Amino acid sequence: MTDSRDQGEFRFEDALPARTFEGDSFAAESYERVNFAEIDLSNKEFDRCSFTECGFADADLSGAQFDSCAFSACNLSNPRVDGARFIDIEFARCKLAGLNFYKLAQSVFDLHFSECRLTSCNFTDIKMKLSGFRNCEIQECYFQSTFLVAVDFSGSSFSRTLFHDCDLQKADFRDAHGYSIDPRTNNVKKAVFSAPDVISLLDAFDIVIKNS
């Protein structure tokens, strides 16, 4: 991972004027260094749009729909997402904080995160089959009763992140580290792990492992 993810910390001062967003739907548009926190995006629709180095911190995305969109080096900290929809979305080198995905108007997601930093995001009770979190930093996030079959977590680092009652069958944790997964309360059948981090799956059993 590179430090380019810190671009999400930038202050975006080049917001396009609100008149640029008159209307309700936008297709195949490209936006760069736009501060969307200053623009009302509630109930608007974006189809096949790209967002580069854009700011969404505390933005109101309630009721909005993003379909087949790509976010690169964006800051999505604590946006309001009640009733929004994220359909087939790619996030690259983005900062995402405080997103409660269970508040969106959908239960099935196709999301792909690459080299992102996710903090305090909640994925409770949603389905994310075949989604991906590749080479991400995942901190204080919550996966409870989450359908994560064949999800790609490879290369990611975890810190204080909860997995409980999750379906992790065939999930890929190769080269991931820092995860805490109790195999008694999560389905890890045919999930893929790398040594030595796979040893952490034994933490729940209160056993002592010693080298001979």
Model's pTM, two decimal places? 0.87
In sequence order, the 6+-apart residues with CB closer than 8 A to the CB of 82 are 62, 63, 103, 104
Is 194 within a domain? Answer: yes
Contact 191, 168 (CB under 8 A): yes
Is 33 within a domain? Answer: yes
Question: Which domain, by its residues, includes 103?
Answer: 3-205
pLDDT tens-digit profile of 68-110? 999 999 999 999 999 999 999 999 999 999 999 999 999 999 9
Burial of residue 161 (number of CB atoms within 10 Å: 0-12, 13-18, 19+)? buried
Is 166 within a domain? Answer: yes
pLDDT tens-digit profile of 158-198? 999 999 999 999 999 999 999 999 999 999 999 999 988 88
Tally the domains of the chain.
1
Which amino acid appears at position 100 of this protein? N
Is 196 within a domain? Answer: yes
Domain of 18, CATH number, reads: 2.160.20.80
**Sheet with 95-97: strands ordered across:** 75-77, 95-97, 117-119, 137-139, 157-159
